């Protein structure tokens, strides 16, 4: 953190008077002396630094959440694939004939189309 510049009594008085006049005129107060302007820039930089730090923390937190969700998705997909493989193996072991009994009912029409072709060959 950068320290502000020391202002003398005269500069401080000029700044206080200018701030009061600017506020009375409905203006946004700003520094009028060179040292006051330097201090204003330093204070602005400090304020932006706090926002930048909060932004970095937020990005790190969101990145961790994304990584956690991706890991959960990978584990879920692995479980799904393993379950499908077990179901397929169990179905193949219990099926008879051409093995089409493992397929869903929607694929029965495919079975009927392919079976006559196998019998003619």
Assigned domain for 110 exists: yes
Instruction: Please tell me the distance from the alpha carbon of residue 71 to that of residue 77, in angstroms, as a whole number.
Output: 10
Assigned domain for 67 exists: yes
Q: How many domains is the chain partitioned into structurally? A: 1
Determine the pLDDT at residue 6.
Answer: 87
CA distances for 25 relative to 14, 37, 64, 117, angstroms: 16, 20, 49, 94
Tell me if 111 sits within 8 A of 105, measured CB to CB.
Answer: no
Q: Mind listing the pLDDT tens digit of every residue in the chain (121 residues)?
A: 678 888 899 999 999 999 999 999 999 999 999 999 999 998 888 888 888 889 999 999 999 999 999 999 999 999 999 988 888 888 777 665 555 555 555 455 555 555 555 555 4
Determine the pLDDT at residue 106.
Answer: 47
Assigned domain for 68 exists: yes
Determine the pLDDT at residue 109.
Answer: 53
Residues spanned by the domain of 74: 9-120
Determine the pLDDT at residue 71.
Answer: 94
Assigned domain for 4 exists: no
């Amino acid at each position: 953190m950068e320290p502000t510049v020391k202002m003398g009594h005269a500069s401080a008085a000029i700044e206080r008077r200018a701030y009061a006049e600017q506020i009375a005129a409905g203006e946004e107060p700003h520094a009028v002396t060179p040292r006051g302007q330097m201090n204003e820039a330093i204070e602005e930089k400090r304020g932006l630094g706090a926002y930048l730090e909060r932004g970095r923390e937020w990005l790190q937190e969101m990145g961790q959440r994304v990584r956690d969700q991706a890991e959960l998705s990978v584990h879920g997909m692995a479980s799904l694939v393993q379950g499908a493989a077990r179901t397929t193996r169990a179905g193949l072991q219990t099926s008879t004939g051409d093995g089409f009994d493992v397929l869903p009912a929607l694929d029965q029409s495919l079975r009927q189309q392919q079976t006559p072709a196998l019998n003619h060959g």
